[in-house]
Structure 1
């Protein structure tokens, strides 16, 4: 899933039309034409961030790294919230640290655009089943621990349209969700399953919550948009009651730490996650290889963990 480069008007009809031609050329992999057309756009509308971004991407595809970085940085200076996602391109070119590649602005724009087709695309096209996998894992963990499959209060991080709440329906007394995308939250609200919904970044949200208030914290395919997870783990531990559970899925990385993949998502290693769990004060009650979605018909390697608060 990626931003579709939706046209944001430059304020000039001729520039906008030429930008559309540039986008079409880029989509057809005619990168020389795309770069030339983008430069023509910028002669008319020099402060059009989307054209700078397109020029940077076309230049990168042509192997012109220095020019690509310059154009992408210009786009970022004009649109610092980075809803265009140029920080991802800069990170791939080695011009930004990997952990700085994805911003809240990019994720918000991505999911605001994606919201109307989110459920259908995920479950039909990508065979997404993250919430179901987490719900099943929680059932197995609770059975193994000899405890009932009930949670008085649940926090759903990156709740999206509410798929996780549906998967947990009947096992939680109340559930609150948090997401960056207002359009996703609108759709979650319609489901009628949440006691409250919050528009916020998930770490900032957790930091506002009371200590030991939740019995369960869940994050289904959310950490793919975050690199370093130390603070998220620490705050999840803080908001959980004693013996509370923290369940989440990630994309799997066989190396050390985490990496930004070609699919514009982070992948995390099992050793990294286990190290964070131990440092934060969790016990790993379940860690298994799963695939929560497909990419071009192939399962995407992932991990599912359930941690217990010590």
Structure 2
């Protein structure tokens, strides 16, 4: 290899390192040192990526077009079209992105990630049926692949949200045939009436769902005008009064810590519990918890009798159907006089106490919350209709629920730190 080619390799590697670090300007500076005569696809492709990083979509597309004209290598051509699709999708043009992904697949038809990308673009372009087909193709190519599963799940939710349960059911049945042991596929099938309804979502389904969404969780919910954490903390203030930092508090399904950061002023110790390792990682970064546990919330509560003054839970009971067992577990974990505050999605149909909805989440009737509270020996039960967030621009109806364990004479609210297991901020795995 001659010295000019060696020099080009050094320039390109330097540019790629800077691109991996998100430094588009640095990558462009490195590429400016490329030897003359080497303005070929190896330089044009990273130049396009650098232009995209600094927000110049027009320049990025122009450089991609030049790179496509400079090569006939099918692998490179497919990669360029896929990158073009990513740029267009990020720029808010899913229809044009779908065209680019289709062009990539025309030369490399067995690439599962590109099929998953196409599914995303088609769904965003208001073609959920096409999105479902593309997601299934990704699963055919990579059985049990996370990208294909996520693409099919999103298409199912899109169809259900449009009232097209028949199309959603057909898609999930095809998914189950491809992926028969996946708990998420079977749970979705049950939600659409294709299987008997379980009394709770499988733990593996919940864990996988939130591991996959953890990185984008907070901004996604902000876009939905998510109110559950504020509703929970408002009820805490009404029950407990001004924060004094003297309570032992458990946050069930703590997620990234959206409730924890708000309830922290009341807490002497704050313990978070979640099934998702990725959610717990974000919660630890938030820094509001003394201890985090990876555990199923019922088992977590049953293992800690009379450990807490307050148990809070925002939008986690929607993955449970019959709430009697978890309510009893919460009562078991509360000290006398302690309170539980939670949100659920509201079931307004008078024919049942709870129901698995096409969304894959459970909705609960007010009567079920009162019955579960009574069975657990809780009192001062309050259920308030609320709006939890928006879905497809429509408010999601919910209930804000609170109840209290009966007091015992001489009980002091604010515990002895037995709930914390220490104050080292570690993530414990139960």
TM-score of the two chains, using structure 1 as the length reference = 0.78
Aligned mates of 2:127, 2:135 — CA distance in 1: 13
Per-residue CA shift, 1:208-243, capped at 9, x if unaligned?
22x111101110111112112111111101011111
Shift of 1:24: 5.6
Q: CA, structure 1 residues 257+150, in 2 after alignment: closer, same or farther (shift >3 Å)?
A: farther
**1:37/1:196 Cα in 2 relative to 1: closer, same or farther (>3 Å)?**
closer
Q: Which residue of the other structure, out of 203, 208, 228, is the alignment partner of 2:303?
A: 208
For the residue of structure 2 that corresponds to 1:238, the secondary structure is: helix
1:113 equivalent among 206, 212, 224: 212
CA distance in 2, matches of 1:268, 1:37: 32
What is the alpha-carbon distance in structure 1 between the residues aligned to residue 129 and residue 168 of structure 2?
14
From the superposition, tell whether residues 174 and 21 of structure 1 become closer, same or farther in structure 2 (CA, over 3 Å). Answer: closer
**Distance change in 2, residues 1:102/1:270 (3 Å):** same
Is the contact between residue 321 and residue 355 of structure 2 (CA under 8 Å) also seen in structure 1? yes
Structure 2 match to 1:238: 332
CA–CA distance in structure 1, aligned partners of residues 165 and 297 of structure 2: 38
Kept in 1: contact 2:165–2:192 (CA 8 A): no
Match of 1:129 among 215, 218, 227: 227
Equivalence for 2:397: 301
- The separation in 2 between residues aligned to 1:197 and 1:37, in whole angstroms, is 35
C-alpha distance in 1 between matches for 2:380 and 2:343 = 14
Residue 164 in structure 1 maps to residue 259 in structure 2: yes
> Counterparts of 1:44-193 in structure 2 under 5 Å?
45=141, 47=143, 50=148, 54=152, 63=166, 71-78=174-181, 80=182, 82=183, 85-99=184-198, 102-122=201-221, 124-142=222-240, 151-193=246-288
CA 1:185–1:275: 2 relative to 1, 3 Å:
same
Partners of 1:98 and 1:201 in 2: CA distance: 20
Q: Distance between the aligned counterparts of 2:246 and 2:365, measured in 1?
A: 29
- Between Structure 1 and Structure 2, the one with more strand by share is 1
- CA displacement at 1:40 relative to structure 2: 10
**In the superposition, relative to structure 1, how do residues 235 and 265 fare at CA in structure 2: closer, same or farther (>3 Å)?**
same
Change (3 A) 1:14 1:304: same
Contact residue 340 and residue 404 of structure 2 kept, 8 A:
yes
SS in 2 for 1:194: coil
SS at match of 2:180: helix
Matched pairs, number: 287
Instruction: Measure, in 2, the Cα distance between the counterparts of 1:216 and 1:37.
Output: 43
In the alignment, which residue of structure 2 is the partner of 1:8? none
- Alpha carbons of 1:91 and 1:308: their partners in 2 closer, same or farther (altered >3 Å)? same
Q: How far did residue 41 of structure 1 move?
A: 7.4
Q: 1:150 to 1:289 in 2, by over 3 A?
A: farther
Seen in structure 2, the aligned counterparts of structure 1 residues 75 and 232 have a Cα distance that, compared at 3 Å, is farther
Secondary structure of 1:170's aligned partner:
helix
> Cα deviations across residues 12-56 of structure 1 (Å, max 9, x unaligned)?
9715255665676676537479659957974xx5956748x9599
- Is 1:259 the equivalent of 2:355? yes
How many Å apart are 1:293 and its aligned residue? 1.6
**Does residue 268 in structure 1 map to residue 371 in structure 2?**
no
Higher relative contact order (CA 8 A, sep 6+): 1
CA spacing shift, 1:233–1:76, aligned 2, 3 Å? farther
2:9 maps to what in 1?
A: none
Q: Contact 2:115/2:134 (CA < 8 Å) preserved in 1? A: no
Gaps of at least 5 residues in structure 2 are: 1-107, 407-430
Q: Is the 8 A contact 1:175 1:195 kept in 2?
A: yes
Contact 2:254 2:274 in 1 (8 A): yes
CA contact under 8 A between 1:246 and 1:307: conserved in structure 2?
A: yes
Structure with the greater alpha carbon radius of gyration: 2
Unaligned runs of 5+ in 1: 1-11
Structure-1 separation of matches of 2:218 and 2:116: 31
**Secondary structure of 1:174's match?**
strand
CA RMSD of aligned residues (A): 3.5
* SS of 1:293 mapped into structure 2: strand
Name the TM-score, length of structure 2 as normaliser.
Answer: 0.58
